[in-house]
Amino acid sequence: MYDLGDIVEMKKPHPCGTNRWEITRMGADIKIKCTGCGHRIMLPRREFEKRLKKVLETKAVEPEKRN
């Protein structure tokens, strides 16, 4: 599965030549940013899941700090 901050690979590469995207927003729509040129797009979740090839890197989740 994927989460906020993960780096994913899509089925088709971006015109800039990079095929790595960072997930920057999640909800009913998912916003991703190209790691090559910085272009951002927003896709409906269903369309994103259809175009997703694999998760390349997952963001390490830090445990909450307690006082």
Predicted confidence (pLDDT) at residue 63 exceeds the cutoff of 80:
no
pLDDT for res 60:
66
- Could you list the residue range(s) of the whole structural domain that residue 45 is in? 7-57
The answer to whether position 63 is within a domain reads: no
Q: CA-CA distance, 26 to 45, in Å (whole number)?
A: 8
Q: How many domains does the chain fold into?
A: 1
Provide φ and ψ at 26, rounded to 5°.
-130, 145
The answer to whether position 62 is within a domain reads: no
pLDDT for res 24:
96
The answer to whether position 2 is within a domain reads: no
39: how many CB neighbours lie within 10 A of its CB?
13
pLDDT, tens digit (0-9, with 9 covering 90-100), for 12-53: 999 999 999 999 999 999 999 999 999 999 999 999 999 999
DSSP-derived 3-state class of residue 30: strand
Q: Which residue has the higher pLDDT, 66 or 53?
A: 53
